[in-house]
Amino acid sequence: MAELTVTASDEAAATHDGGSAPAVVRAAPAAGTALVKGVLLDIDETLVDLEGAMDRALREVSAALLPGLDEAGWTTFCRIFTRGSDDIYERYVAREITFAQQRVLRAERCLAQFGRAFASDAESAAWLEAYETAQPTYVRAFDDVEPLLDALEAAGIAYGAVSNNVHDYQRAKLDTAGLQRIGILVGIDAVGVAKPDPAIFHEGLRLLGTGAHETVYIGDNPAHDVIGAAAAGLRGIWLNRRSAVLDPAMAPSVPDQVTGLGQVPALLGLG
């Protein structure tokens, strides 16, 4: 994973690439049924290619620590940081450690894989400063984001973002990615809880001005974004960009799945 949370129950779905998981597309709503009036979206790996940004920044700022590391080694290093350290990020979400501390701890786990470690607190601090400078420069929105937002606006559907990170950090990320048009944003500091707690979804609904029954939530984490949204009364859609294989036990609770945001308008019956 990137800087978002994934529970142990769905870690397999988030980390297995190349699986066979066809998109499940439901028919457009039948006449007389409630239409979608609001869409809330996750940010990291849904709107923004954070993993790509992290990969590039990690290689840039860690090269001196691992001279001669081959391509396979860098892939391992990056995947440990982005998908193999969710337990560390969970500690940040639970407010046990700071955002900066979780980044250093994740880097230490990556280095340990190759028998290395920061030589001192000063070295880890320098690494952190370099990473925090480099990573935002690589942040980009996925290519399918703007077309989806265009379609939602054309249909008169309100939209916003709900994230398992703090508001200001995610606001800066969206702006850097060119997504200033997403004005509504809820972070974990708004209500003091993270997904899948219903309260954070309900805050998004309050800001959108829509009811749960007429609002969709889209995200890349089946447990937090889909099952969590459903528990809050919303319709959850799993964005499965990696074509990951979902745990069969979880599948009945994740009925809607797309492999790209370009499939969402049809799923919502927008034409």
Asked if 102 and 91 count as a contact pair (C-beta separation under 8 A), the reply is yes
pLDDT of residue 50: 97
Buried b / exposed e along 242-264 (16+ C-beta atoms within 10 A):
bebbbbeebeeebebbbbebebb
pTM beyond 0.75: the answer is: yes
What are the boundaries of each domain within the chain? 8-49+140-267, 51-138
CB atoms within 10 A of CB 112: 11
Residue-wise pLDDT tens digits, 18-52: 232 334 333 334 333 449 999 999 999 999 999 99
The hierarchical CATH code for the domain 8-49+140-267 is 3.40.50.1000
pLDDT of residue 175: 98
How many whole angstroms separate alpha carbon 133 and alpha carbon 184?
Answer: 26
Residue-wise pLDDT tens digits, 163-193: 999 999 999 999 999 999 999 999 999 999 9
